Amino acid sequence: MKSIFLKPFFFIIIFSLIVTTCDLFTDQAIAPGISIYKTRDDYFTLIDIGMKGDRIFRTSSYSQDVNKFYFRDNDTIYKYRIRLVDGYILDFEADERYDVFLSLSFKECMNLEVEYNQLCLPPDTLRKYIIDKDPYIEYYRDMAEPRLFNYVVEKVDTSEINQIIRDGKLEEYFTRLK
C-alpha cells in the first residue's frame, strides 16, 4: 500500500523540480543584458572573478570551459569580450558590482589549472593575482525590456554599437550603472 502512494508522490516532486529548474534557464536568467565598459587599465586579455568584500564567490574553470574561447596562432581569445571604439569593451558576462581583475591571462590561468590539476584555482591562489578590485570607470548595460541588442555573441552587431558610441548616444540605448 505504501509503494502505491509513494510513486505518485515522487513523480509530482520530480516533475515540479524539472518545471522550476526550467525557469532558471529563461532568457532573463541567463542573459542579464550585454555590458559596455571602460576599465582603469587594459584588462582585455585578463581573467576576472566575482568578489563580495573579501569573499570570492565566482570563478570559472577555463581549462574545462573551452567553448568560451577561440584558439589561434598559439593564443587564447575569450569570445565573450569584444573591443569597441574609443576604448570601450563589449562584455557578455561582466558584473559591475563584483568583478575583480587578476594579472592572469586566460591562457596562463588554463595552464595553471592543468599544472596544479585543479578545475578551478583555489581562492588563496587567486587572491595573489588580484590587480584591481574596482576596475570600471564607466559601465553600461542593456536593461531594456525586451533587450535592444542580442545577447548571443555571434549575433551582436558591433558596428551598430560602435556608431552609437561615436554619436555619443550610449545613454540613450544603455543604462549607465557607473
Nearest Cα residue to 58 out of 95, 87, 111, 19: 95
DSSP string, 84-128: -GGG-EEESS--TTTEEEEEEEHHHHHHHHHHTT-SS--HHHHHH
- Considering its fold, how many domains does the chain have in total? 1
pLDDT digits (tens, 9 = 90+) for 63-81: 566 677 778 777 877 888 9
Is residue 171, in this structure, part of any structural domain at all?
A: yes
Is residue 67, in this structure, part of any structural domain at all?
A: yes
User: Domain limits at 109?
Assistant: 32-176
CA 175 from centroid of its chain's CA atoms: 18
Is residue 153, in this structure, part of any structural domain at all?
A: yes
Q: 175-176 and 69-72: which strand pairing? A: unpaired
Is residue 7, in this structure, part of any structural domain at all?
A: no
Is residue 63, in this structure, part of any structural domain at all?
A: yes
The 3-state DSSP class for residue 67 equals: helix
Is residue 125, in this structure, part of any structural domain at all?
A: yes
Is residue 23, in this structure, part of any structural domain at all?
A: no
pLDDT digits (tens, 9 = 90+) for 135-167: 999 999 988 777 777 666 677 888 999 999 999
Is residue 124, in this structure, part of any structural domain at all?
A: yes
Cell of 166: 561615436
pTM as predicted? 0.74
